Amino acid sequence: MTAEKRVLLIVSGGIAAYKTLELIRRLRERGISVRCVLTAGGAQFVTPLSLSALSEDKVYTEIFSLTDESEMGHIRLSREADLLVVAPASADIMARMAGGLANDLATTVLLATDKPVMFAPAMNVRMWEHAATQANIATLESRGLIRIGPDAGNMACGEYGLGRMSEPMTIVEAIETHFAETHFAGPGARPLAGRRALVTSGPTREAIDPVRYLSNHSSGKQGHAIAAALAGLGAETSLITGPVALPDPAGVSVVHVESAADMLAACQAALPADVAVCAAAVSDWRIAAAASEKLKKDGDGPPALELTENPDILRTLSQAENRRPGLVVGFAAETEKVVEHAIEKRQRKGCDWILANDVSPETGTFGGDSNVIHFVHGDGVEDWPRMTKQEVAERLAQRIAAHMGGAE
């Protein structure tokens, strides 16, 4: 999967620079080529000679070096890489990246690149906690840069806390996951051709009487984008949707339903499936006995509405014995302890992955165009930066394709 991939490794100043030697070895063992750019600060901690020996390539240091620029300009350094990795990423280089400075070779390449960029912060805990550093990180993440770590632990400066650079193998895994996810992302790639996908989307409506119902604010934007992204990668996709104001996505077979019971029946009719993604905001309860005629104000006060529990579609699919989709993905819509509740939900419902999102009204997740996902899987939790719902859908679809291609 990762053969012939090329990493441009930017080593900035910090004691953790020594770990990049191990990082280069591990990447090269996996068939990933590494070319290094070393900042002046980085050169205080690790020599160009050691980086060059391990990467078996020249190490680039100077923006104004006539030899470097004539042999390999900064644009070519970026062009000839699939991924840029800044490790260690000092507080200083992150500030310069966030501010768009280009005052050395490393930051010039980073400003000029159109390739994905990962960064592995490493610094003293107080520098990490400083509002300026946190604001710079938020800026970088909002631009789509991928952060790895840092870890907590004892520091070279004698303090304890967050700021240690992630271990080389953690960075290697993040790089491999990135390559696995983007492996299929080329134009026209259809890695899910021959696979069947089932997606739920939108709210459900639970009738109180023929004209009133219980429901929620789901717009269907997230679920519909996921169905479109899976179909875009070639999956034969069924979308089971509650009532929404969106057009049916192209190339997707759409079933329109109202209630949770209808949604479950439609999902079961759409089986077998290789992957199911439950993005619908299914009503947990319905009226125990919906009235067949419109309820009247008869002077005896408001009617008492008795609720009963709806079937859980995600749990039913996850626990379907011989018809369980190979991969079952749920969402967790939470307003507090988002990740904690999502981890518990994943276990209770028996699905493989959960995409947790904060749906407190101030986040605008329900109905809005963007989402902040905490991706909960068997091995831990990944915090994704804020992305549009379409970007979330594409990232998830690529992740599913990588999983089905046996990359995870």
358 sits near ligand PMT (criterion: CB under 6 A): no
Q: Is 30 exposed, middle or buried (0-12, 13-18, 19+ CB in 10 A)?
A: middle
364 sits near ligand PMT (criterion: CB under 6 A): no
282 sits near ligand PMT (criterion: CB under 6 A): yes
Q: How far is the CB of 395 from ligand PMT (least distance, A)?
A: 14
279 sits near ligand PMT (criterion: CB under 6 A): yes
- Which residue among 124, 238, 365, 390 contacts ligand PMT (CB under 6 A)? 365
Q: How far is the CB of 284 from ligand PMT (least distance, A)?
A: 5
In degrees, rounded to 5, the angle at the alpha carbon of residue 72 between the alpha carbons of residues 66 and 77 is: 130
260 sits near ligand PMT (criterion: CB under 6 A): yes
Q: How far is the CB of 200 from ligand PMT (least distance, A)?
A: 6
Residues composing the chain: 408
266 sits near ligand PMT (criterion: CB under 6 A): no
Return the closest-CA partner of residue 249 out of 267, 270, 223.
223
Whether 312 contacts 280, CB under 8 Å = no
Give me the residue label for tokens 């520091």: 155
Q: How far is the CB of 357 from ligand PMT (least distance, A)?
A: 5
367 sits near ligand PMT (criterion: CB under 6 A): yes
Q: Which is nearer to ligand PMT, 393 or 401 (CB)?
A: 393
Inter-CA distances, 244 with 3, 201, 208, 225, Å: 44, 9, 19, 13
281 sits near ligand PMT (criterion: CB under 6 A): yes
Q: Which is nearer to ligand PMT, 95 or 372 (CB)?
A: 372
Q: How far is the CB of 122 from ligand PMT (least distance, A)?
A: 34
Report DSSP state, residue 203.
Answer: B
- Which residue among 310, 318, 390, 398 contacts ligand PMT (CB under 6 A)? 310
- Which residue among 12, 218, 237, 241 contacts ligand PMT (CB under 6 A)? 218
Give me the residue label for tokens 């609720």: 307
Q: How far is the CB of 314 from ligand PMT (least distance, A)?
A: 4
Element (H, E) at 83: strand 83-89
The 3-state DSSP class for residue 362 equals helix
Peptide bond into 88 cis (omega under 30): yes
What pairing do the DSSP bridges indicate for beta strands 370-371 and 387-388?
Answer: antiparallel
Token code pair at residue 193: 């051709």
Q: Which is nearer to ligand PMT, 68 or 358 (CB)?
A: 358
Token code pair at residue 247: 């057009």
What CA–CA distance (Å, rounded) separates 186 from 191? 10
Return the closest-CA partner of residue 383 out of 135, 145, 82.
145
Bridge partners for 255 per DSSP: 240
- Which residue among 5, 164, 221, 374 contacts ligand PMT (CB under 6 A)? 221
357 sits near ligand PMT (criterion: CB under 6 A): yes
The 3-state DSSP class for residue 207 equals strand
Q: What is the DSSP string of 131-164?
A: HHHHHHHHHHHHTTPEE---EEEE-TTS-EEEEE
- Which residue among 60, 128, 366, 375 contacts ligand PMT (CB under 6 A)? 366
Q: CA-CA-CA-CA torsion for 48, 51, 56, 58, nearest 10 degrees? A: -30
Q: How far is the CB of 365 from ligand PMT (least distance, A)?
A: 5
Number of amino acids touching ligand PMT (CB under 6 A): 29
Active site residues: 157
Segment near ligand PMT (CB under 6 A); pick from 70-78, 94-102, 140-148, 220-228: 220-228
Contacts (CB under 6 A) with ligand PMT, residues 313-332: 313-314, 330-332
What CA–CA distance (Å, rounded) separates 180 from 406? 9
Segment near ligand PMT (CB under 6 A); pick from 6-14, 91-99, 247-255, 281-289: 281-289
275 sits near ligand PMT (criterion: CB under 6 A): no
180 sits near ligand PMT (criterion: CB under 6 A): no
- Which residue among 20, 55, 222, 241 contacts ligand PMT (CB under 6 A)? 222
Instruction: List contacts with ligand PMT (CB under 6 A).
Output: 200, 218-223, 260, 278-282, 284, 310, 312-314, 330-333, 345, 357, 359, 365-367, 389
